């Protein structure tokens, strides 16, 4: 089909993200799915962060410990269910279950809004399901789109989530004082229900792409993965490539948590009320995502196509070394807020899509099971260790945390480089093997 024969939306997507005509519906559904998924979380994320301050900034490491424990429990439960329920039935219900929990917390907060233990439970659960839902999303993306498609499309698809993270904190910042924090939970629940419906639509599009003959993943979802609940851990420790991805994520998470502690300490001292703290976190989220979405829509695909996945992985550690040094010399709220915006912008716009591309070259078991362990247990282990480290360093001030962050970022850099090169080698080997198979004479 020529460009003249395409719909206006198809022509626009071709220009913006080089989307092919047969990919248009799948890409648009994926964009909408990620929008509702991220909006559903980000509308309550400022509330989650505010609940952390209600429990106590000096005890945040306890919440991170609880989150790690719950994540460690949820990962094998998720893998066990995926082993016994067909994926096309199981994946939508992941979001349906989370919607039910949001309604349950609405009732709990309505009964006692200042209960520290309810606040702690909410912080732990939202921190757990956040990673689970995003992991499920990107597992499905890596199971639909091929390596070459991912380089073109993942930046645009990620922008759907970023638009959601703009819409949600904008609503929260503007209307939280009017509607109250509890109502945000019901809005979040509705968003997760919509996400579940869109998963079903996208599953049908995967079938069409696989059957169309285009360059797409040829796997199916109408089956159980089989195996046992601990396959994710087994697959992870058997694969040097997956272990390298886990190490990369561990260091990225450590950096994130160091900044989180710096910011939580500063915001808790600057603002008294729960609503004011919620609003401050929402403003930071809004600034971050407004910048990131422009790069995702118009730059991510082009950056990766021009410079490769390795450069995409390297951008964050390079930026963070200099950012932490700046904080060490000027540990004030405006500087910390700027560093958080810069870190998240670089991560969401380039590093995150680049990292998700790493899973397009692994098998389906690894996509859903090992990836889930990496995205939840490994991520939260990084939170846990860096939370206790940050708590130990916090008495030395925000500048002390900044120095620690700069050192960790310097270690992160060579890991990102090695991982990027391994991905490129695997991708090139697969492409060469496919070429040989395609050109081999029929027997």
Q: Which residues contact 384 (CB under 8 A, 6 or more apart)?
A: 61, 64, 65, 67, 68
> What per-residue confidence (pLDDT) applies to 324?
75
Q: Say if CB 83 and CB 226 are below 8 A apart.
A: yes
SS (H, E, C) 310-373: HHHHHHHHHHHHHHHHHHHHCCCHHHHHHHHHHHHHHHHHHHHHHHHHHHHHCCHHHHHHHHHH
What residues are paired with 216 via a beta bridge? 145
| Helix (H) and strand (E) counts in the chain | 19, 0
Q: How far apart are CA 18 and CA 329, in angstroms?
A: 43
Q: How far apart are CA 115 and CA 381, in angstroms?
A: 27
The Cα-based distances of 133 to 92, 324, 389 in angstroms read 10, 30, 27
CB atoms within 10 A of CB 334: 9
**HSE, side-chain direction, 13 A CA sphere, residue 58:** 2
What residues are paired with 441 via a beta bridge? none
Q: How far apart are CA 167 and CA 392, in angstroms?
A: 36
Q: Is 86 exposed, middle or buried (0-12, 13-18, 19+ CB in 10 A)?
A: middle
Q: How far apart are CA 117 and CA 387, in angstroms?
A: 19
> What per-residue confidence (pLDDT) applies to 231?
93
Percent helix, strand and coil across the chain, each to the nearest 5: 90, 0, 10
| 443 residues of the chain, pLDDT tens digit each | 445 447 888 888 888 778 888 889 999 999 999 999 999 998 888 788 778 877 776 777 788 788 889 988 999 999 999 999 999 999 999 999 999 999 999 999 888 877 888 888 999 999 889 889 999 999 999 999 988 888 888 888 988 988 888 888 778 777 777 777 788 899 999 999 999 999 999 999 998 888 876 777 888 898 888 888 999 999 999 999 999 999 999 888 887 777 777 677 677 777 777 667 767 777 776 777 677 777 777 767 777 878 888 888 888 888 887 777 777 766 666 666 777 777 776 777 788 888 899 999 899 999 999 999 999 989 888 877 776 776 676 666 666 767 777 888 888 889 999 999 999 898 887 766 656 565 655 54
Q: Say if CB 304 and CB 356 are below 8 A apart.
A: no
Q: Say if CB 136 and CB 37 are below 8 A apart.
A: no
Dihedrals φ, ψ of 357, to 5°?
A: -65, -25
Nearest to 220 by CA among 204, 211, 209, 207: 207
The Cα-based distances of 438 to 145, 194, 349, 365, 426 in angstroms read 20, 41, 35, 26, 18
Q: How far apart are CA 86 and CA 74, in angstroms?
A: 18
- The second-level CATH assignment, the architecture, of 18-215+228-424 is Up-down Bundle (1.20)
Nearest to 387 by CA among 60, 2, 106: 60
Q: Say if CB 230 and CB 79 are below 8 A apart.
A: yes
């Amino acid at each position: 089909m020529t460009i003249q024969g395409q719909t206006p939306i198809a022509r626009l997507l071709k220009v913006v993200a080089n989307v092919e005509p047969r990919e248009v519906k799948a890409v648009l559904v994926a964009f909408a799915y990620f929008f509702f998924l991220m909006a559903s979380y980000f509308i309550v994320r400022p509330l989650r962060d505010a609940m952390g301050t209600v429990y106590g900034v000096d005890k945040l490491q306890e919440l991170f410990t609880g989150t790690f424990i719950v994540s460690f429990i949820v990962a094998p439960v998720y893998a066990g269910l995926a082993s016994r329920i067909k994926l096309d039935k199981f994946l939508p219900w992941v979001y349906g279950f989370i919607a039910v929990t949001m309604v349950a917390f609405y009732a709990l907060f309505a009964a006692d809004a200042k209960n520290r233990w309810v606040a702690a439970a909410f912080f732990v659960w939202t921190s757990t399901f956040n990673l689970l839902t995003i992991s499920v999303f990107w597992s499905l993306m890596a199971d639909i789109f091929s390596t070459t498609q991912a380089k073109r499309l993942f930046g645009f698809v990620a922008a759907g989530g970023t638009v959601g993270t703009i819409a949600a904190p904008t609503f929260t910042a503007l209307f939280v004082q009017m509607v109250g924090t509890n109502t945000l939970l019901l809005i979040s629940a509705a968003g997760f229900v919509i996400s579940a419906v869109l998963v079903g639509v996208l599953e049908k599009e995967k079938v069409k792409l696989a059957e169309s003959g285009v360059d797409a993943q040829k796997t199916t979802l109408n089956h159980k993965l089989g195996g046992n609940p601990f396959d994710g851990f087994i697959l992870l420790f058997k694969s040097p490539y997956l272990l390298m991805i886990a190490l990369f994520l561990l260091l990225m998470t450590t950096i994130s948590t160091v900044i989180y502690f710096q910011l939580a300490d500063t915001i808790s001292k600057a603002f008294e009320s729960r609503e004011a703290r919620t609003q401050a976190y929402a403003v930071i989220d809004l600034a971050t995502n407004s910048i990131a979405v422009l790069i995702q829509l118009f730059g991510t695909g082009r950056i990766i196509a021009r410079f490769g996945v390795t450069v995409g992985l390297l951008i964050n550690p390079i930026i963070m070394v200099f950012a932490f040094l700046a904080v060490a010399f000027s540990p004030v709220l405006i500087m910390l807020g700027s560093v958080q915006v810069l870190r998240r912008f670089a991560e969401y716009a380039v590093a995150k899509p680049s990292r998700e591309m790493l899973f397009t070259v692994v098998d389906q078991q690894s996509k859903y099971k090992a990836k889930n362990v990496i995205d939840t247990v490994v991520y939260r282990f990084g939170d846990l260790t860096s939370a206790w480290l940050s708590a130990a360093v916090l008495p030395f001030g925000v500048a002390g945390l900044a120095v620690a962050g700069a050192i960790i970022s310097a270690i992160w850099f060579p890991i990102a480089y090695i991982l990027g090169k391994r991905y490129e080698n695997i991708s090139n080997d697969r492409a060469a093997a496919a070429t040989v198979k395609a050109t081999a004479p029929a027997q």
